Amino acid sequence: MQASPVVSLVVPFYNEGAAVEAFFETIASTLASINTVAFEIVCIDDGSKDDTLIRLLAASRSDPRVKIIELSRNFGKEAALTAGLDAAVGDAVIPMDADLQDPPGLIIKMIEKWRLGADVVLARRIDRHSDSIAKRGTANLFYKIHNRVSHVEIPNNVGDFRLMNRASVDALKLLPERQRFMKGMFAWIGFRTEVLDYTRPARAAGSSKFTGWKLWNFALEGFTSFSSVPLRIWTYIGSFSTLLTLVYLIFIVTRTLIYGIDVPGYASLLVSILFFGSLQLLSVGILGEYIGRIYTESKQRPVYIVRQIYGGSREP
């Protein structure tokens, strides 16, 4: 008889000690209702400073399906997600958050669509009432700008919560970049995709680790990872500024030849210097973002470092 397919749940944890029990209780009841596949639960402790790892170890002792990847320090969610995808052995992989804002009840629907032939099944949020108005607005703005300037379109209101078959996971693992923008990488690999809509609930416990500053830097990472348009824009701005300067030069020379030398205006000169100086600093900053990425990639440091693996065949 053919063995049942295995589905791997990949769950990053960072200072989520208060949410561990609730997560496993909910997941256990959800998985108990699915008997068509086997499961493994790959938990990544991303350098937590609370008792997250202790609680994960307790969960692994009571559930042999739980595998824990302990990273040597906090590398960030993108790196932790990469570590989980590398460790997952399932025929399909489902990354999800530990705060239960990614509803486990969708797992069975994802598996159904996968068994019907979908390579990737996306979970799309249709109601984000649990997020603040500012967060909803900035998220919508990010998707609009990113999809306009990037050659890879990211589905609106789709996070990391999705099902990917083994072929799509293996394709994702071929991407070698160190600074990883997973939403863009998920979209870049393509594959036959289905979408499931859901309403995003509030967090079961804890608080979001993404501050406004981190979200801004995350957005910059997205723009610079999958688009060179910010660089190209400054080519056009420079060309337009040069044209305006040439027109103004012709005007000044012509006026001087006709009316003679005029006393130069201090205010207009100061404004011009400050304006173009600011443009130059801004353009240098954008260049710096891309040069910084080249510098980081050239060092070829690993995306993450594993301190210890618990559970499965690697139980110490």
281-294 mean pLDDT? 75
pLDDT of residue 299: 81
The two three-digit tokens of residue 28, written as one number: 């256990």
Q: Are 15 and 145 in a shared domain? A: yes
Q: Are 187 and 237 in a shared domain? A: no
229-242 mean pLDDT? 69
202-211 mean pLDDT? 52
Question: Is pLDDT at 221 greater than 70 in this prediction?
Answer: no
Domain that holds residue 245: 229-299
Q: Is 4 left (phi over 0), alpha (psi -120 to 50) or beta?
A: beta
Q: Are 130 and 169 in a shared domain? A: yes
97 inside domain: yes
Backbone angles phi, psi at 68, to 5 degrees: -120, 125
pLDDT of residue 175: 86
b vs e for 248-280, b when ≥16 Cβ sit within 10 Å of the residue's Cβ? eeeeeeeeeeeeeeeeeeeeeeeeeeeeeeeee
CA distance 204 to 312: 27
222 inside domain: no
Beta-carbon contacts of residue 170 (< 8 Å; ≥ 6 apart): none
Is residue 127 within 8 A of residue 202, CB to CB? The reply is no
CA distance 148 to 292: 24
Q: Are 168 and 236 in a shared domain? A: no
Task: State the pLDDT confidence band at 263, using cuts at 50, 70 and 90.
Answer: low
pLDDT tens digits along 85-116: 999 998 999 998 888 888 888 899 999 899 88
β pairing state of 6-13 and 158-165: unpaired
Is residue 126 within 8 A of residue 198, CB to CB? The reply is yes
> Mean pLDDT for the chain?
78
Question: Is pLDDT at 167 greater than 50 in this prediction?
Answer: yes
Q: Are 128 and 48 in a shared domain? A: yes
Task: State the pLDDT confidence band at 12, using cuts at 50, 70 and 90.
Answer: very high
Q: Are 180 and 262 in a shared domain? A: no
Q: Are 288 and 310 in a shared domain? A: no
224 inside domain: no
pLDDT of residue 68: 93
Q: Are 132 and 20 in a shared domain? A: yes
Q: Are 181 and 53 in a shared domain? A: yes
Task: State the pLDDT confidence band at 2, using cuts at 50, 70 and 90.
Answer: very low
Task: State the pLDDT confidence band at 208, using cuts at 50, 70 and 90.
Answer: low
220 inside domain: no
Reported pTM? 0.69
Beta bridge partners of 309: 69
Number of domains in the chain: 2
Q: Are 86 and 195 in a shared domain? A: yes
β pairing state of 193-199 and 120-127: parallel
Q: Are 197 and 283 in a shared domain? A: no
CATH, residue 40: 3.90.550.10
217 inside domain: no
216 inside domain: no
Q: Are 163 and 244 in a shared domain? A: no
% of the chain exceeding 90 in pLDDT: 15
223 inside domain: no
CA 151 to chain centre: 17
126 inside domain: yes
Lowest mean pLDDT segment, chosen from 10-19, 116-125, 229-238 = 229-238
Question: Is pLDDT at 205 greater than 60 in this prediction?
Answer: no
The two three-digit tokens of residue 26, written as one number: 């909910």
Any idea which residue has 């990354």 for tokens?
A: 95
pLDDT tens digits along 126-165: 865 655 565 656 666 666 666 666 677 777 778 788 899 9
Helices (H) and strands (E) in the chain, counts: 10, 8
261-273 mean pLDDT? 61
18-42 mean pLDDT? 87
If one compares 37 and 151, the residue with the highest pLDDT of the two is 37
